[in-house]
Structures are given as C-alpha cells and as structure tokens.
Amino acid sequence: MYSGNRVMDCNTTDEIGPSPAFLYTCNGLKPTCPSFLVFRTQPQYNTVLTISKLLSLDHGSLARINNIIDYNKILPLNKELIIPVNCSCVGEYYQANTSFVIPTIYDTYFTIANLTYQGLTTCSSLMRNNIYGQYDLHPGQMLQVPLRCACPTVSQTAVGARYLLTYLITWKDSIKKISKRFKVSSQDLALANGFSSVDENDIYPFTTFLVPLSNEPISSMTRTLGHKQNLSKKWIMIGTMTGSFLAILCGFSMGYFLWRRNRSTRGKTAIKSALPEDIQLGIASVDQSFKIYRFEELEQASDGFSLENKLSSSVYKGGLKAKTVAIKQMGSNAKKEVKILKKFNHFNLIGLYGVCEHDRSCFLVYEFMENGSLKEWLEDKTLTSQESQSWTNRIRVGLDVAKGLQYLHNFASPAYVHKDINSSNILLSKDLRAKISNFGFARSTEKDQNGNSSIKCSLESKGYHPPEYVESGTVTTKTDVYAFGVVLLELITGKKAVYNDDDGVEVMLSENVISCMSDEEHAKDKVNSLIDPRLHARHPVGFIIDHSELALRLVRLAVACLEPEPSRRLSMNEIVSTLMMFQMDTQTSETTMYTV
C-alpha cells in the first residue's frame, strides 16, 4: 500500500493497524527475502565505500550489481545506485537493518529519515526503533535505522514477481513512466502499491514505490538525475554543486565553532532542540559590529533626510563610508528592537549596524535591501520574466524566511517569537535573498513570560493571525508558523493576505485556499487556478510548463502550517527540511526544462 505524504509526519500512529507511513506491512509469501532499494548519491555519500557504510552493505556486492570497479571513485551527484538488502519481518513490518552515528547536534529524526536516507526510512519508524526522545539527539549516539523493503505477496509471486524494489519517486514520475523504465506491467505496478488503475497518479516526490521484478535489477535501469549529453554543461553543473557544497561545509565549520564558543561563554550545557544540519550556515562568520552614530553623520548620509532618499514614511536611504544603508526613525519601541537584534547575527535576519538618539527620536541604521519588501516585490508588475516566472526564486524566498524563523525558535538563546510575520516585514536583497525585519513586537518564549499578549500588531498583520491569537491573545512559536503559511500562499498565488474579489468583497487568502483544498478530488485543478499567472512560464519551444504538481505540494505545505489547532501545525524544522527538498528538486527540474 502506497503511503502518500503521511511519511512526512513524525507523529503518525498505527494504533488501529499497520500503516505504510511507518514501513511496509508483512503481508508477503515469505517472512524473509532478498530485496533491493534505490539510493541517489549525495555529497557525503558518493563512493561505494561511503554508501556501503551508511547502509551496512558489503562493498563488493554493491560494486558488482552497479558495475563499478573502483570502490573509492567519486560518483556523479544524484546518480542512482541499486542497493541489495536482506529484508525480514520484524513484528508487523518488513525492514532491512542498518545503523547510523549522529554526526552533529543539528540532526533530527526528520532530517535523518528524509535527507540522509532519502525517504528509505521514516521519522516515525526511527522514533519507534530508538530510545532517544525527539529532542534528545546528540552527536555520537548510534541509531538503529529500519529501511523500507518488502517481499512479494502470493498474488505477485503467482504472476512471476520474485523481487520487490523500493524506488524513490521524483518529479514527473508516474505509474506508466516507472513501469516503462523497469520493464514491468503498469497494472502490476499499480496493484503492488494499492492503486486500482494505472491512471491514478497522485504520487509524491520523496516518497517510495514498490516495483515488482521477475529478475534482479541491473545497472542499466538506473540514471543520473539532471544528467546532460552536453559534457560542458554537465561539468558546469557538477562544478557548481561541488563548489556550493564546499562553501556550505566551510560555513558549517565556522558557524559551529562560533556557536560552541558563544555557548560556553554563556555557561549553557544543553541546546533547546535538535536542529537540521544546515541551520549554522546562516550564522555570520564574524561578530557583528555595532556603532553609536552621531545625528550629523546620518543627516549627511541621507542628504538632510531629503525627499529623494525617502523610502517610506519613516525610512530613508543613506550612504555611510561607501556602504548603502537604511535609516529608520522610530519611537518608544526602538530600544526593544535594538536589544533583540544585538543578540542575533543570522543571514536571514535583518542586520542592524547602529543607533542614534536625537531630539527624543531614535534612528536605527540597517543594512540596505535593494528589492524592498516581499509585498512590494509581489505587487510589482514590471518584474522581469526571469524573476517573476521562477519557482526557484519563490521557494528560495520562502526557505530564507523559514530559516530565519527556525533560528529564532530553536537556536536563539532565549528563543523568540517574531509575532508580526507578514510580507511587509520580509525584505529582499538585490539577489532576492530574504531577511526578516521589524522586531518591535517580538517576545521571548522563556517560561517566566506570560503566554498571552495584549499588544496589538500592525495593520499589515491582518490575515496573518491564527485563531488562538484572535480569540485569546495566545502567542507561541506556532503563531509564527501560521503567519509563515500565509506568506507561502502569497508566494504561490501572488495575492495579498487580504484582498478584494471581483465583486469588491473582502477575502482572506488563507480561508479561500483552505476551502479549495477541502475538495481533495479536484484539489489539483483548483490549485492551478490559484497559481500566480506570472509563474505560468513558457518553455523556449512554446508550450506552457506544467508546475501544478509542485504548486499542489507547496499549497499542502502551507495548509499544514494553517491548522486551527497549534499542536497540529508543523515545526519550522520540518518546514525547512521540506522546502530544502523542494528547492533541490526544482533547481534540477528547471535546469532540465530550459535546456533545449
């Protein structure tokens, strides 16, 4: 039975019976059998030796079935390998067994299942098979990892199936395409995964499919995602990815070192929560300098706060020592914002350079964001086609915001709730990198602070508040998660959080989308009508590129952030991990689509 997106939920239960969201059910003819998985190379696991260690395999067997001679040869990124395993029933589920030593403090059950093991195990099954709590993971701990496998059923054996291969679905996959690739009957493939028809293609990337095979799989069945016949383009892509990985690794090392130093000076002995491995990449590699400016400096920098430099009612553009800055005049809440921002130094939070007090006013000096607010950017009808038609840009903006919130909720000490997330408070650089701004309403999540708030947020926040805040003023990190869900919908639809329809009636974007998604049978068609028209990009040969599957998954992610019950909303850790997977696959997809 196909699991669908339930494998992404770390709180799945099987109290009423076995669930494919854990592993595959023991319903085969035999309790144990040889089986196969498909694994795709990634930067840390790109040789026969490293992959065989990760999956507890004999490296000789792995090399032979994939026709590889050199065990140490670095394989192309995203190259599929066939993984032979021994599959056995353990309780109600089939599994192949391996183990994994947690390398960093940022690993979670979710990231280990979906990033390291690429969906070949699940968050729920990892939690069940290990003694450590969800927030008690630490470097050096060894986890038992059950891998998804299965043995053929009686009916599958009767039609000649001797093996089942666990295949990781990617974009554009369908039952017919998978069956053609592995040379199996479409009907047999559909039935093996609980579908009654070969035309049912409600399948999702990063989930697994069982492929019934009459013979052992061979290396010619595998492929390298994003592989091009043009060698120069191929090596450009590989070089770019390799360079990015090295930059990430360097950022990780420096970020981790600074975090350790900061933690020791504060005398902390434990972190609040296990975080995904990429979180430290946003932490700046040098201490942020903070300056007390003289009013005359700011006056000169902004040409006397001239109209030409006025960006909004209280913000001016200025130049200080060849550096462009934004100068914001503030009132009584300026001290709170300064106090908060001085604690933080993260790529996705707006940088505060300094402050100036003059004539009972306070002027804050920020880094300058060339593309203004996300709200302005989405409303700008003069955007170039490359900017407006790129799903990669939209997802990257969403991921930047998610990483900023992830830092505030889990990595800042103490943790903070921003409380005023909206598209006006998300600023974009010239490279369309997003940073969260306006911390005037932010509050700590420490236990001695009241969970309710009487402070009303800005008018810009209408349409972003969750039910518990509207009803009782309750503020938690899930307040930000709800608001992020609305921002994600703005990125997908290009519409405001609150807008007027054709009849002039005020509409809440979140309510409209949730209503559309309630009809699961026609959800895909309705999502197509919601997509920002600028995202209906054309291929160079003329046809409109179909991004409905991507849009549907993004909308479902947003709706998961908008759950009425706070405890049912996703965490920012889960959101970041999911968006990272979307981003990686979308970049590959767009590169392939635009290559003629």
**Can you tell me whether residue 151 is helix, strand or coil?**
coil
DSSP tag of 7: G
For residue 350, what are its two tokens? 């707006």
**Is 420 in the active site?**
yes
| Residue found by looking up tokens 């005037």 in the block | 440
Dihedral sign for Cα 572, 574, 578, 580, please. Answer: positive
Q: How many CB atoms lie within 10 A of CB 265?
A: 8
> How far lies 565's CA from each of 238, 288, 557, 570, in Å?
44, 38, 16, 11
Q: Which residues pair with 143 in a beta bridge?
A: 100
- Of the residues 107, 173, 278, 420, only one is catalytic, namely 420
CA 448/CA 333 separation, integer angstroms: 21
b vs e for 126-162, b when ≥16 Cβ sit within 10 Å of the residue's Cβ?
bbebbebebeebeeeeebbbbbbbbbbbeebeeeebe
DSSP tag of 71: T
**Can you tell me whether residue 357 is helix, strand or coil?**
strand
CA 521/CA 77 separation, integer angstroms: 37
CA 39/CA 118 separation, integer angstroms: 8
Gap between the terminal Cα atoms of the chain: 38
Q: Which residues pair with 326 in a beta bridge?
A: 317, 366
CA 305/CA 298 separation, integer angstroms: 8
**Can you tell me whether residue 410 is helix, strand or coil?**
helix
CB 538 within 8 A of CB 544: yes
In DSSP notation, 241-278 reads: HHHHHHHHHHHHHHHHHHHHHHHHHHT--S-SS---TT
Q: How many CB atoms lie within 10 A of CB 544?
A: 9
CB 165 within 8 A of CB 210: yes
CA 342/CA 352 separation, integer angstroms: 7
What are the catalytic residues?
A: 420
